[in-house]
Structure 1
């Protein structure tokens, strides 16, 4: 079968990308199905030289197919049995940071580039990371040309966190010409599999080795801090606001926290995907209680939004079986994700004098997951930057790289975790859920 390219795409070929105005660090599935789509729609609405130069930090797994396909790829919107394909061509360049660091640095230094977006996972937001070092080297050569650095990773106050890291390297004067808008991004984009590629072949009649599948829902909330201008993302459906915080809290706790709950409980119970985890007997009732009794009291949602309704909408999205979102994929990097997704909920409820019953069940499930086997004895992989420390730790709560101060000394919390751990060991996830009905 022919490969997707400008020569083979025919009527579905998009217009050529405009000149580069954005550099994106991280060529993963989420960027291709989220920021790239918003940017293509913004250009269609209002024009502008906002072509995206995508930088793959290490792996060439997506980069090479994209180059072979004239920087074209498809986004497959998966809604039950319905698949809606769209071919994107908003990328103007694609580079490999590991083998072309000087080219990436020159690109970051180019004054025509006015925005850098990042989807590099929580692990990259630490001093000395390869991505941060690359970004800093490029910024040093900009000579004051205005730019916005836009973190699209799931971190609280992600813009402020990125600003702290950059200022520590370049000094406070960098903020005179640099914006650091915080953002909230949301779309479920599972890793592409052989089934994803087969679906692309069926609906396109072409081979596409850079395709991604995604849910219909997509959201982007951005703080308005762009000294060099920005695409008309608001005309493409994004929300531009002075305060991202309420949206961020909803996403981290009522969406991602619940996502992690389904991942760890489901993986222990043998559910391969998030939708099948949600369908386990008693699971929906437990996560609904998790949202209503543990998460909702810790959040101040945007005007007109309730945490419970927002959580219910997330559950409807998680039930989309067409996504085939693997529990083990969502469970990756738990030591980096849970402080934002779960531990804040627990800390806030404990500070208010309450014991978060369902949040501690999720934490106990993660602790069991770390031990490496499902309820039926099936081995579970631990894909986590702290894997060795997690597996060897005699007391997980004492790991200050994961848990904030106070967790290890909270005797009531330890007692509740011990009760949940005992229930999970004796009865497994299904038996524990049955006991809550």
Structure 2
């Protein structure tokens, strides 16, 4: 009993230290923290500091909710099958075990899957996003931090021979400000506009303010955003298929070039709240190094159609929603908003609402695996379907 308690104490202490700021870097020894909740490995818990095998280990951080992660996992599974004696991939997700077990039913694999719902190990490495991996050698030393889509047979061969591999992973920057409102806008301000260059330590994001906010329909904020993402929101462009370029694409969208990223905040007067996006459209050509215009072009689309829709009608008259790779949940959503804000983001074509249903609904979908079939099943489950058509759609054309 004392041995068990002592082990638990060490584990708790290790995790507590991690939570207080420990970050594993390339070249560090992996800490004595076991990987827990393994679902299909020979053991439920595994220590990288006491392996007993002359293999290297790839810790891939992913999730069933992450659509780019699915093909990356398929590639890792093929590499694992070819290199069983050289390496072992441990795929660590913040998913609940039952979601990972459902994944294994669809995609049986020799990758070891682990559930880490607290994201403890992910946070230890300080990755900026999932779809990145840590490589640990046979001695428990971290020898590379890489983007998962860069892992191929050539890299495996180099690692097996002990050849150094370049680290390509993107890590979180240390925030330079913990200020709640980075633009220092408070409730006494009636209108303001600010545009800045890249802010160190801030994640790329955009924000539309909620119904409960005094800024609802009056304010929009972008942090470390590309010209493309700012223009897309200004003109309500819902799909990448509705973008055209008369200049090199990298001039409007290149997250690797921090000099091309912008921080922008627009607050308009209360009596102008119906004109937020029109005012933003007017300001952008004056401030940005590129311009954009709207054209209408014929293109393939998906039409959202009613096949016995059975979600609850909402008592709310305005939209409140959120979505992730696990699905969509809303109060007061129209099906047009569901198609524009969510489905057009998830599919390769724009999605237009042709259900004929005009009321607002409380909509909830459950996506088991974030791929085309998984998302389609989630909308079939609530009585909707997609039909491919051709339609004249708004297109945003970038030019100088």
TM-score, scaled to structure 2? 0.29
Larger radius of gyration: 2
